[in-house]
Structure 1
Amino acid sequence: MTLTDTRHQPTTDPSTPAASHKWGTKLWAILFVAGLAMFLDALDVSMVGVALPSIGTELGMQTESLQWIVNGYILGYGGLLLLGGRASDLLGRRKVFLVALAVFGIASLVGGLVDSGGLLIASRIVKGLAAAFTAPAALSIITTTFKEGHDRNRALSLFTIFGATGYASGLIVSGFLTGIDWRLTFFAPVAAVAVVLIAAFIVVPKTENTERGRIDFAGAATLTGGMLAAVYTIVTVPETGFTPLVTATTVAAVALLAAFFLIQKKVREPLVRLGIFKAASIVRANLAALAIFGSYISFQTIVSLYLQNTLKWEPLNMALALAPAGIIVAFLSPLAGKLIDRFGTRPMIIASMASFVLGYAWFIVRGGDAEPAYFIDYLPSFLLLGIGFALGFSAVMVQATEGIDDSEQGLASGLVQTSGQIGGAVVLAVVTGLISGGVATSLAQYRPGLYFVIAVAVVGLLAAASALLGSRKSAAQAA
């Protein structure tokens, strides 16, 4: 495996023309199919976020229970992403992609049929487990199909458009469907899955150069179990304190996560080769993913609950209010590849995190309990968040996978997506603990959660900015 140090260089030298090749129909088709998987994931997140208040009303679920509809998916997703990435490397990306996508569709169908909050959460966990295999398989299909440099940067920037389109369309579609019946938001993705399955079966190559080796099931089990126990503890402690059950889950979380790291050091073929973290650029990319997804998923949950439960907005109005963020990402993402070629990933990620911080700050300062002036009080916040995603997502994915051999692209892809999903689960768990306590009647009851959201974004900004300090130090040493 070859790992080049990219800490002090942009992805492509701005002074030289970027190497580019004309893409044929086959390359475009592969990018389209992989992007549809990203579309489905973003669609699911936005549709469920809009439907949460309606689900809670019909199934009698409080905020602390509702968050498990989001977190069940995130934990299943984040807990097995590394296993999914490794399975793609060893078993074949096409095979893993097709099987997991079928399970994703079945779980979505089941989620729309159940009448119990517990069963709905269970279906969400299974759906997240399936996405844990489709996502890294799709991303590694792209990173192994398109050469590192201009072509891969362009492909990943276009890949982002699918996510933005899925998110924006999911908001609007869910607003319509939730007004009829929230169950339709679970049935709608099933048809899309069928289309993607057929297209992937035709387009994705059957012959792949996969590595030989074993899958670290013990590592996957300890990581997933440890994360589930940790998030359950974080969510439950503010409500019940350290009861015997919560104490047991706390001990289990510490023990399982410690066991995970020990296993990674001992086994011959670990789920995560810890040496990959020797590259500071990869560490920063994963921290950025954690901060972006951790802060935004929690922010969307707060906004959905606040606008619908406190201000009594209709689901469609709430969805349309958030839609500009996704639209901005869709319009700006095609430029991301060119910007990465010119400036490198570091400035892009710093600008992204700064945009998130400003967006959250605007909402905190301008938000209030009176009927808002949307174009002044809320829209600037949502536009800034869209800009943050447009600048940051592709840059993070490029930085997290550049310099990695094809044999570990699944690992690198799974790792950065795991960071985002685990960040989403843990930050949402903390935020839920901070805002729980009955139906909120004012924004003041959500402010502790909002303050934590912006704090996470600030930490991400500081981590990204540390790259510039490292560059200056290295330049001084060289001089």
Structure 2
Amino acid sequence: MNPATNAQASLGPPVAGRWDLRLWGLLSVLAGNMLIDAIEVSAMIVALPSTGRDLGLPPTGSQWLITGFAVGFGGLTLFGGRLVELLGRRRVYLCALLGFAAASLAGAVSDEPVVLVAARVLKGFFAALTAPTGLAIIASAFPPGRDRDRAVSVYAFFGGAGFTAGLILSGLLTTVGWRWTFVFPAPVVLVLFAFAARLVPGDRPVPKAPRHFGVGGALALTGALLCLVQGIVSVPRHGWTDVRTTGPLGLAVLLTAALVAAERTAPRPLIRGRLLRNRTLVRSMAGAAALNGVNLGLLLILTTRLQDGLGWSPLRTALAFLPASAPLAVTALFSRRLIARYGTARLIALGALGPAAGGALCLRHPVPGSYVTDVLPTMLLLGAGFVLAFPALNTQATSRLTAVDRPAGVGLYQSAVQISAAVVPALAAALTAGRSDDRPALWLVTAVSLAGVVAGVRGLRARPGRTETPSTGE
């Protein structure tokens, strides 16, 4: 009996209220992998200055180690969803785990910046396969209702804790050597793979869909993002009129046009047009993109200033950032109660004010003199914004989607979040390159956060007083 059949037979039909050892093991594997995926989002933030100095990279070059992961995640999320649909959850999930481990090892042993960035892009792609697939596996393996909600809450908790864990681990490992931030996920993921091969159930038979993978659209979107980021970070060094700037930016425009053409003529487009007409989804995408972009943009600005400008160690910098990330991990298990009581619209609007206020506070003292007065308030406001708004945005995004549209809608939402994570830090790095004054970059992230405030206010006006309950993924 092959592992897929064995796992499915051993799991048997889920029974409400009864989790056997294999179900607990399955949830542990999925949550552990979600933890690693989330760690990767923050792992390079505090390691960035050390990596840049060691490789001789300016901020506009080293920022690729952050934005590369986001490009892979955001550009290929929709394509990853199509792969899962056509090839099956189990097969894609296991292959993605192996690919993630291989990319981690490749980045750890290379001195070539191109290889390091390619490894980060690939890790982003593999994370785009495992993160949503893990949630889909939970939906199929756990009974609907309280059991599934408990499993999803644990999964979300590990996702929320991952960003915090990534900061701490990166701070500790970079003290020894920045390469450890690349290599440490590999053995962990290989252990998870060994258990996943036994525990992840095979897919139940479904009618075969037309095998259109949408490779052209996926490559066009990813290529457009890569060219856009390269064009942005070329401006400080080469100016707006140099071909090394205009070339990538022009190619980004052409690839975007190719994406639109490919999607219009595709028998099964990756981006469904009707989803872009869903105002609730689009508003959620805008709010979540602003929140994530501002968070990573501010942390990029501050980590460079604290380490290169003030001589802070990576570990000290990581600890300084904890108030921005730890609150979400602590409150992840209670977010559903908060949403049920106050509704998504009010939480999103209130949470969007936190990053905006945090960015404005940083503008008072672009070069921090005191952590307590110049950095900590901004970190606390960022943390409060995530606690209030991020789970509510995730819930609101799918609240008006049918069961048929939900997977594609979630993929589109996640793409928007990660695209912002690529573009905003790239803009921040470009605006800080060669400058002793971070105000232009801080004005940028403040403006992006205000766009999130506008999206939150529009949500209040769209459905005043309405309470949206969280989806259980059924």
Please tell me the TM-score bracket, short chain as reference.
0.7 to 0.9
Which aligned pairs between 1:5-20 and structure 2 lie closer than 5 A?
none
1:346-382 deviation per Cα after TM superposition (whole angstroms, max 9, x unaligned): 2222222122222333333355443x1x333322321
1:175-200 deviation per Cα after TM superposition (whole angstroms, max 9, x unaligned): 12111111111111112212322333
Residue of structure 2 equivalent to 1:201: 197
Moved more, 282-291 or 258-267: 258-267
Check conservation: 1:140, 1:409, Cα contact below 8 A. no
TM-score, reference length from structure 1:
0.86
Q: Per the alignment, in what secondary structure is the counterpart of residue 49 of structure 1?
A: coil
1:403-445 deviation per Cα after TM superposition (whole angstroms, max 9, x unaligned): 54555544223211111110111111211221111xx55xxx2
- State yes or no: 1:217 paired with 2:212: no
TM-score, reference length from structure 2:
0.87
Residue of structure 1 equivalent to 2:432: 435
Which aligned pairs between 1:57-68 and structure 2 lie closer than 5 A?
57-68=53-64
**In 1, Cα distance between equivalents of 2:142 and 2:365:** 44
Residue of structure 1 equivalent to 2:451: 459
Check conservation: 1:153, 1:340, Cα contact below 8 A. no
Structure 2: gaps spanning 5 or more residues: 1-15, 467-474
Which aligned pairs between 1:78-477 and structure 2 lie closer than 5 A?
78-142=74-138, 155-208=151-204, 212-213=209-210, 214-240=212-238, 241-365=240-364, 368-370=367-369, 372=370, 374-437=371-434, 441=436, 445-472=437-464
1:293-351 deviation per Cα after TM superposition (whole angstroms, max 9, x unaligned): 11111111111111100010011111111123322112111110111222332222222
**In 2, Cα distance between equivalents of 1:153 and 1:303:** 37
Q: For residues 251 and 339 of structure 1, do their structure 2 counterparts lie closer, same or farther at Cα, with a shift above 3 Å needed? A: same
- The code of the aligned residue for 2:242 comes to T
**In 1, Cα distance between equivalents of 2:343 and 2:140:** 21
Check conservation: 1:84, 1:136, Cα contact below 8 A. no
**In 1, Cα distance between equivalents of 2:29 and 2:400:** 25
Q: Number of aligned pairs? A: 447
Structure 1: gaps spanning 5 or more residues: 1-20, 475-479
Q: Per the alignment, in what secondary structure is the counterpart of residue 241 of structure 2?
A: coil
Moved more, 108-117 or 352-361: 352-361
Q: Per the alignment, in what secondary structure is the counterpart of residue 50 of structure 1?
A: coil
Check conservation: 2:339, 2:347, Cα contact below 8 A. yes
Q: For residues 139 and 235 of structure 1, do their structure 2 counterparts lie closer, same or farther at Cα, with a shift above 3 Å needed? A: farther
Residue of structure 2 equivalent to 1:24: 19
- The code of the aligned residue for 1:312 comes to G
Moved more, 406-415 or 178-187: 406-415
Q: For residues 303 and 145 of structure 1, do their structure 2 counterparts lie closer, same or farther at Cα, with a shift above 3 Å needed? A: farther
Q: For residues 272 and 399 of structure 1, do their structure 2 counterparts lie closer, same or farther at Cα, with a shift above 3 Å needed? A: same
Q: Per the alignment, in what secondary structure is the counterpart of residue 201 of structure 2?
A: coil
- The code of the aligned residue for 2:62 comes to L
**In 1, Cα distance between equivalents of 2:359 and 2:145:** 33
1:53-104 deviation per Cα after TM superposition (whole angstroms, max 9, x unaligned): 1111111111111111111221122111110122222222222111112111
Q: For residues 350 and 199 of structure 1, do their structure 2 counterparts lie closer, same or farther at Cα, with a shift above 3 Å needed? A: farther
**In 2, Cα distance between equivalents of 1:149 and 1:394:** 19
How much does 1:451 deviate?
A: 1.3
Q: For residues 22 and 349 of structure 1, do their structure 2 counterparts lie closer, same or farther at Cα, with a shift above 3 Å needed? A: farther
Check conservation: 1:112, 1:184, Cα contact below 8 A. yes
**In 2, Cα distance between equivalents of 1:352 and 1:435:** 27
- The code of the aligned residue for 1:220 comes to A
- The code of the aligned residue for 2:300 comes to T
- State yes or no: 1:69 paired with 2:65: yes
**In 2, Cα distance between equivalents of 1:453 and 1:151:** 40
1:135-171 deviation per Cα after TM superposition (whole angstroms, max 9, x unaligned): 2322333455668887766655443321232221221
Check conservation: 2:368, 2:375, Cα contact below 8 A. no
**In 2, Cα distance between equivalents of 1:266 and 1:274:** 12
1:241-286 deviation per Cα after TM superposition (whole angstroms, max 9, x unaligned): 2223433322221121122123222222111111122221111111
Residue of structure 1 equivalent to 2:470: none
Q: Which has the higher contact order (CA 8 A, sep 6+)?
A: 1
Q: For residues 23 and 436 of structure 1, do their structure 2 counterparts lie closer, same or farther at Cα, with a shift above 3 Å needed? A: farther
- The code of the aligned residue for 1:465 comes to V
**In 1, Cα distance between equivalents of 2:140 and 2:395:** 13
1:36-67 deviation per Cα after TM superposition (whole angstroms, max 9, x unaligned): 23311221222211111111111111111111
**In 1, Cα distance between equivalents of 2:464 and 2:323:** 37
- The code of the aligned residue for 1:204 comes to V
**In 2, Cα distance between equivalents of 1:399 and 1:64:** 35
Q: For residues 24 and 346 of structure 1, do their structure 2 counterparts lie closer, same or farther at Cα, with a shift above 3 Å needed? A: farther
Check conservation: 2:89, 2:203, Cα contact below 8 A. no
Q: For residues 181 and 472 of structure 1, do their structure 2 counterparts lie closer, same or farther at Cα, with a shift above 3 Å needed? A: closer
Check conservation: 1:36, 1:196, Cα contact below 8 A. yes
Check conservation: 1:88, 1:136, Cα contact below 8 A. no
- State yes or no: 1:50 paired with 2:42: no
Check conservation: 2:363, 2:439, Cα contact below 8 A. yes
Q: For residues 166 and 335 of structure 1, do their structure 2 counterparts lie closer, same or farther at Cα, with a shift above 3 Å needed? A: same
**In 1, Cα distance between equivalents of 2:297 and 2:413:** 19
- The code of the aligned residue for 1:254 comes to V
